[in-house]
Amino acid sequence: MLLFKLLKEVALINEQKFLAELGKLLTFMYEEDRQTAIELYAQMFASTADEHALMLFLASPTRQAVQVARAYNAKERKLQVHAQSKNEDGLEYDPDEVPDFVLAINKIALSAAQIAAPVAGDEAAEREVPEGQFSLFDEASAEAEPAAAEQAVAEPVEQAPVEVPAPVEVTEAAAAEEQPAPAVEAPSEEVVAEAAEGTEAAPVEEAREEAAEAENAPAKEAEDKPAEADIPAAAPEDDFAVVIPELQDEAAPVEETEASATPAVEDMPAAPAAVEMQRKPRIALLILFIILAVPITLIGVVLLLIPTLLCLSLALGFIVAGVAALVSAFAGFAVFADILVMLGLALAGLALGLLFLWLFVWFIGGAIVGLIKSVIALGASWCYKEVPAV
């Protein structure tokens, strides 16, 4: 009982540490996206029945940060942030505009829920599958192994998580041999079983995802590989895994893996070092552009000045006529019907005068200035190139 309470407290502390560490690692995201991601993970913890199994499944904040970073496109999010209509709690999005990183976290949560469910039940009954019974994991491991074989040439680093499930299915002893950090699990069979439960689905799914990603975006994979390589291969490397006091002596290697995992934060793909760019003119092209653009622009401005001045003259004419009609309406007419007609004509004249005056302003401030600005912008795009600053 005491041990259970201790485990519960440790799990709570681990959860808080996990979320805090994850929050630090997700600083490359926009603040509201980061809060959303943290809240989704907090919900994941709140809804799980077995935090220990969830912790084992999530492996480490670094691993989760890498997964979120892969699904996060900062440029697209910048455009979506203002257009996106969010509900009051900030967690729900329009069905069409759910960001990729939310989908990725939901996928992780779904996998975690699938794993936590059997753990909450009778673990022994879940572990021992009869030989004749159909097992998804056999297929999964069978599917994952070709994927691992394909990736083995290009990505030897990622091979380890794929290979883990196969021995788990065979025997528990083999699982104990295959676990990269056996120190935590070795003394207790229960812990081994939980670790196996926690890791057996995750690597298979990751193997599928990574195989798909390797086909779809090899360049992105190449970018992410350093960060992934720094993460220890199997789930139990987590620095937030539950540490039983008796096992602390043997858990020392976990500290080493933490030390090796920490640099992965710096290698994360979402926080690349900013390269300063410098605009450098192409002199010959610039001179040629000026020689051609100046007369063409002048011709365009002169052509635009004709309707501009016409609008101005019409505006002045209508306004003068309207004012004259307005003045005469109150000065020279004795019949009320005539006054009404003159007022109507004055209003119409003034309205047309205002319209032409606005057209004149639009020609000057919009068309002519816009023409000059667009020519300058065209020259800037054609005659300048961006090179990295020395």
Using an 8 Å Cβ cutoff, are 90 and 25 in contact?
no
Indicate the DSSP class of residue 265. Answer: G
Burial 261-297 (b: 16+ CB within 10 A, else e): beebbebbbbeeeeeeeeeeeeeeeeeebeeebeeeb
Q: Which of 350, 364, 371, 372 lies at the binding interface for another protein (CB under 8 A)?
A: 350
Tokens at 352, concatenated: 């047309």
Q: Which of 299, 338, 385, 387 lies at the binding interface for another protein (CB under 8 A)?
A: 338
Residue 256 burial (CB count, 10 A): 13
Q: Which of 2, 153, 275, 335 lies at the binding interface for another protein (CB under 8 A)?
A: 335
Quick check: 284 binds another protein (CB under 8 A)? no
Alpha carbon distance 11, 17 (integer Å): 10
Q: Which of 113, 312, 341, 375 lies at the binding interface for another protein (CB under 8 A)?
A: 341
Closest approach, Cβ 314 to another protein, in A, equals: 13
Quick check: 371 binds another protein (CB under 8 A)? no
186 vs 323, beta carbon nearer another protein: 323
Closest approach, Cβ 307 to another protein, in A, equals: 16
Tokens at 45, concatenated: 């913890």
Tokens at 50, concatenated: 């077995």
Q: Which of 98, 285, 305, 348 lies at the binding interface for another protein (CB under 8 A)?
A: 348
361 vs 375, beta carbon nearer another protein: 361
Closest approach, Cβ 356 to another protein, in A, equals: 10
CB neighbour class for 248 (10 Å; exposed up to 12, middle 13-18, buried from 19): exposed
Residue 344 burial (CB count, 10 A): 12
Quick check: 319 binds another protein (CB under 8 A)? no
Closest approach, Cβ 344 to another protein, in A, equals: 3
Q: Which of 333, 364, 375, 382 lies at the binding interface for another protein (CB under 8 A)?
A: 333
Mapped onto helix, strand or coil, the DSSP state of residue 281 is: strand
HSE-CB at 53 with a 13 A cutoff on CA atoms is 26
Alpha carbon distance 252, 292 (integer Å): 74
Quick check: 307 binds another protein (CB under 8 A)? no
134 vs 336, beta carbon nearer another protein: 336
Q: Which of 176, 345, 364, 372 lies at the binding interface for another protein (CB under 8 A)?
A: 345
Quick check: 366 binds another protein (CB under 8 A)? yes
Quick check: 301 binds another protein (CB under 8 A)? no
Closest approach, Cβ 349 to another protein, in A, equals: 8
Q: Which of 328, 371, 375, 384 lies at the binding interface for another protein (CB under 8 A)?
A: 328
Using an 8 Å Cβ cutoff, are 193 and 172 in contact?
yes
Q: Which span (30-38, 60-68, 79-87, 333-341) binds another protein, by CB under 8 A?
A: 333-341
Alpha carbon distance 168, 136 (integer Å): 13
Nearest CA to 101 out of 80, 124, 125 is that of 80
Quick check: 176 binds another protein (CB under 8 A)? no
Q: Which span (146-154, 265-273, 292-300, 341-349) binds another protein, by CB under 8 A?
A: 341-349
Quick check: 358 binds another protein (CB under 8 A)? yes
Residue 72 burial (CB count, 10 A): 24
Instruction: Please give the size of the binding site for another protein, defined by CB under 8 A.
Output: 30
Instruction: Give ∠ CA 105-107-111 in degrees, rounded to 5.
Output: 115
Quick check: 339 binds another protein (CB under 8 A)? yes
Alpha carbon distance 314, 356 (integer Å): 6
Closest approach, Cβ 353 to another protein, in A, equals: 9
Alpha carbon distance 193, 171 (integer Å): 11
Quick check: 342 binds another protein (CB under 8 A)? yes
83 vs 331, beta carbon nearer another protein: 331
285 vs 354, beta carbon nearer another protein: 354
Quick check: 324 binds another protein (CB under 8 A)? yes
Closest approach, Cβ 335 to another protein, in A, equals: 7
Contacts of residue 108, defined as CB under 8 A and 6 or more positions apart, other chains included, come to: 44, 58, 64, 67
Q: Give the residues lining the site for another protein (CB under 8 A).
A: 324, 328, 331-333, 335-352, 354-355, 358, 361-362, 365-366
